[in-house]
Amino acid sequence: MANILLHGWWVKVFVALLWVIAIAIRFTMHDDSREDLLFTIIAFSNFLLYLMVAMRLPLLTHSKMAILLPNFSQKLKQVLLVIFGVSLLPTLLVLPDAVTWLAFISISILSTLIFVAMIYQPIYQIFIWLLILMPLPMELLDISLNKEKLFTTLAWLLPLIIWFSYALLNKLVNYRGNQKHVSKIIATMNVSMGKTLAVQENIPFSDRTKLAQWWANSHFSYYRKLISAASNTSQQLSNRKLIEISCQSANSFGVNAYVVWSVGISLLCVLGLVIDESYHHFFTPMVTLIPAMIIGTGSITLFQIIQCKKSYLARLTILPRFKQHNSFARAFLAYVFYNQAMLYCFIALLLAVTARVFGHINLTIYINLILILLVYCFVTISIMLFAWRAVQDYGNPVVWLMLIGFICTIVFATNMASSGMPLLIFDGVFQTLLVTSLLLITFSSYQYLQYFTKR
Partner 1 sequence: MTCIVNVKGLTKSYKNQPVLKELNLQIEQGDVVGLLGKNGAGKSTLLKSLLNISDIDSGEISIFGEQYNQLSSKSKARIGYVPQENDEISWLSVKDLINFRKQFYAVWSDEKVTELIGRWEIDLTKKIAELSPGQVQRVLIILALAPMPELLIFDEPAASLDPAGRRDFLKEILALVSDENITVIFSTHITSDLERIANKVAVLDKGQICYFNDLDITKENVVQLTVHCQEEQHIAIPHLLRGKTFSKGQHGIVSQLDQAWLAQMQEQAIEVTVTPMGLEDIFLELTA
Secondary structure E strands in 227-329:
none
What sign results for the dihedral spanned by CA atoms 340, 249, 403, 266? Answer: positive
Question: Any long-range contacts for 429-434 (C-beta under 8 Å, 24+ apart)?
Answer: 430/371, 430/375, 433/375, 434/371, 434/374, 434/375
Closest CA to 334 of 441, 241, 245: 241
Closer of 71 and 233 to partner 1 (Cβ): 71
Based on the shown chain and the rule CB under 8 A, indicate whether residue 408 belongs to the binding site for partner 1: no
Give how far Cα 351 sits from Cα of 25, 26, 370, 416, Å. Answer: 37, 39, 9, 16
- What binding mask, one character per residue, do residues 16-55 give for partner 1 by CB under 8 A, x or -? ----------------------------------------
Closer of 72 and 303 to partner 1 (Cβ): 72
- What binding mask, one character per residue, do residues 92-121 give for partner 1 by CB under 8 A, x or -? ------------------------------
Q: Which stretch binds partner 1 (CB under 8 A): 31-39, 68-76, 151-159, 212-220?
A: 68-76
Q: Which stretch binds partner 1 (CB under 8 A): 67-75, 92-100, 236-244, 437-445?
A: 67-75
Based on the shown chain and the rule CB under 8 A, indicate whether residue 4 belongs to the binding site for partner 1: yes
Least Cβ distance, residue 68 to partner 1 (angstroms): 6
Closer of 176 and 325 to partner 1 (Cβ): 176
For partner 1, the binding residue among 3, 235, 392, 418 (CB under 8 A) is 3
- What binding mask, one character per residue, do residues 148-187 give for partner 1 by CB under 8 A, x or -? --------------------------------------x-
CA distance 34 to 27: 11
- What binding mask, one character per residue, do residues 219-258 give for partner 1 by CB under 8 A, x or -? ----------------------------------------
Based on the shown chain and the rule CB under 8 A, indicate whether residue 396 belongs to the binding site for partner 1: no
Closer of 170 and 450 to partner 1 (Cβ): 170
Based on the shown chain and the rule CB under 8 A, indicate whether residue 77 belongs to the binding site for partner 1: no
Based on the shown chain and the rule CB under 8 A, indicate whether residue 72 belongs to the binding site for partner 1: yes
For partner 1, the binding residue among 11, 21, 48, 59 (CB under 8 A) is 59
Q: Are 371 and 434 in contact (CB under 8 A)?
A: yes
Based on the shown chain and the rule CB under 8 A, indicate whether residue 374 belongs to the binding site for partner 1: no
Closer of 58 and 254 to partner 1 (Cβ): 58
What sign results for the dihedral spanned by CA atoms 245, 251, 256, 258? Answer: negative
For partner 1, the binding residue among 64, 210, 454, 455 (CB under 8 A) is 64
Least Cβ distance, residue 393 to partner 1 (angstroms): 13
Based on the shown chain and the rule CB under 8 A, indicate whether residue 65 belongs to the binding site for partner 1: yes
- What binding mask, one character per residue, do residues 182-221 give for partner 1 by CB under 8 A, x or -? ----x---xxx-----------------------------
Closest CA to 6 of 65, 66, 82, 106: 82
Least Cβ distance, residue 403 to partner 1 (angstroms): 19
CA distance 234 to 232: 5
Q: Which stretch binds partner 1 (CB under 8 A): 41-49, 65-73, 146-154, 271-279?
A: 65-73
> Interaction with partner 1 in 324-353: which residues (CB under 8 A)?
none
Q: DSSP of 146-190, one letter per residue? A: -HHHHHHHHHHHHHHHHHHHHHHHHHHTT----HHHHHHHHHHHT
Closer of 189 and 226 to partner 1 (Cβ): 189
**DSSP three-state, residue 84:** helix
What sign results for the dihedral spanned by CA atoms 113, 115, 121, 122? Answer: positive
Closer of 59 and 203 to partner 1 (Cβ): 59
CA distance 305 to 271: 36
Residues of the shown chain interacting with partner 1 in the complex, contacts defined by CB under 8 A: 1, 3-4, 7, 59, 63-65, 67-72, 75, 186, 190-192
